[in-house]
Homo-oligomer: A and B are copies of this chain.
Amino acid sequence: MAKVLNSEEVDTGLAQLKGWVLRGNEIEKRYEFNDFREAIAFVNAVADEAEKVDHHPDITINYNKVLLALSTHNAGGLTEKDFGLARDIDFI
C-alpha cells in the first residue's frame, strides 16, 4: 500500500503542481471552461489518465465548472499516487 505523506512531503508535492490546494486529507483543483461540452471533454481526458494509473479523483461537474479531488482512501491520506496523478492531469 502507498505510504501516507507527511506535511513536509505534501508541501513539496503541492509546490510541483499548478493550482492544486490542500483541503483536509485531499488535494483539489477547480477548473472553469467555456461551456458544459468543454467541461465533459476535460473530464474524459482526466478519466483516461485515471484509468492508466488505476487511481481515480472524485469529480464534480457544475455546467462549465469542474472540481477534482484526490486522496488515497485505502491508505487514509495523501500518497505519491495522488501527486503523480495530479501531475499527469496538469499535463492534459
Q: Chain A: residues with CB nearer than 8 A to chain B?
A: 36-37, 40, 43-44, 47, 50-51, 56, 58-63
Contact = CB atoms under 8 A, between A and B. Distances in A.
A47 B58 contact: no
Given A36-B47, A47-B40, A51-B37, A58 B61 contact: yes
Contact of A36 (B51, B61, B63): B51
A43 B41 CA distance: 11
A86 B17 CA distance: 38
Contacts of A59: 59-61
A60 B51 CA distance: 18
A59 B60 CA distance: 6
